[in-house]
Chains A and B, each alone.
Chain A
């Protein structure tokens, strides 16, 4: 399941979470992001038993995103015990690359 976080819940859901969290940074005006998100939802269903999946609408959480060094979307990032360890940014964020990234941490 893909948890929709916001600027208030992001800290608890991602930065203070134990284990591995996959974060999909998107915004509704970002066409490539909206094309990717349904695929991430599917992957969340598939791999959600061992990994936590969170999505953040950056248009409503700009400072949080910038604080995570996100200045361009889409980004799919991997957090482990609150630390960002890997990410796929913009053009690199293909469905195939995202699935490969998830499998790596599964």
Chain B
């Protein structure tokens, strides 16, 4: 790519798209690199009800994010379908290397988010796609009339558990703490759903089966006792959906951008990282609240600060 953009945005989720929209509107030349479908994590969810201004009757993440994408495009943001493989952000002209070419810009907004945290237990990798899933909207359908376990206790786990009751005949939430951490209104709705049961205070130890997932062993966190849950004989298998949080996707920035111990990018209030002209926005930032609305706010601030930085340069 011959163009040296004013702003190069890595990631097309809510943070990146908002940064693009604001940069474009400020008449900066801006480009977004996104490896998959726009939206990142939010695009996988069936029902978003807490993004301010979203459809009050609820809407899917895809529907919501489509509007973000259209807004960014309306303001002339260039889109590249590519994956950022390596970066060189220390100089005046920042470089991002993708599979399809090299991208150069005067400022960069790192907004490529996070990926689902894995259980890390034996059998998890083996049964991925054979019973283990991290995406209810992708795989719920396979478990029509079967039993399903959902591991986790936060908003995502409980919301996706409710979504899965559209397919499964029984959904059991397995949570390591003796309580759920999901918002109260979500917990209440789940309580009214007769298809949902709970195993609170249990941790998944291992997953087994013969080609497809058939056994799940849990440990009682208090007593240490192990229990193996087996698939119903007629079913022959069950599902295990994992919603235990996410891990920031910041491998490629190691050695250049300061990262916290857990891999998040610390910034100041203006989204500035340790490198001049490089900003971070969204879930991969070191912060306490990770929601679509805070990601969008980050993206806006990053773009406006990038504009200020560029004005000060010239």
B101 interfacial contact with A, CB 8 Å? no
Q: Are B212 and A69 in contact (CB under 8 A)?
A: yes
Residues of A within 8 A of B144 (CB): 62
A-B contacts, 14 of them at CB < 8 A, read A29-B138, A31-B36, A31-B43, A32-B44, A32-B138, A58-B142, A62-B141, A71-B213, A71-B237, A72-B130, A74-B138, A90-B133, A91-B115, A96-B99
The complex places the Cα of A95 from the Cα of B237 at a distance, in Å, of 30
B129 interfacial contact with A, CB 8 Å? yes
Can you list, as one digit per residue, whether each of A73-106 has a CB less than 8 Å from chain B (1) or not (0)? 1110000000000000111001110000000000
The complex places the Cα of A95 from the Cα of B128 at a distance, in Å, of 19
The complex places the Cα of A62 from the Cα of B36 at a distance, in Å, of 25
The 9 A-B residue pairs with the shortest CB-CB distance, nearest first, are A72-B129, A89-B129, A30-B138, A35-B37, A35-B36, A72-B139, A31-B43, A72-B133, A71-B142
B64 interfacial contact with A, CB 8 Å? no
Q: Are A31 and B137 in contact (CB under 8 A)?
A: yes
The residue that A72 contacts in the complex, of B36, B44, B83, B142, with Cβ under 8 A, is B142
Residues of A within 8 A of B133 (CB): 71-72, 90
Q: If the complex has contacts A31-B44, A58-B142, are A73 and B129 also in contact, measured as CB distance less than 8 A? A: yes
A55 interfacial contact with B, CB 8 Å? no
Q: Are A71 and B130 in contact (CB under 8 A)?
A: yes
Q: If the complex has contacts A33-B138, A62-B141, are A69 and B211 also in contact, measured as CB distance less than 8 A? A: yes
B213 to A: closest C-beta gap in Å: 8
Q: Are A75 and B129 in contact (CB under 8 A)?
A: yes
Q: Are A72 and B212 in contact (CB under 8 A)?
A: no
A20 interfacial contact with B, CB 8 Å? no
Residues of B within 8 A of A43 (CB): none
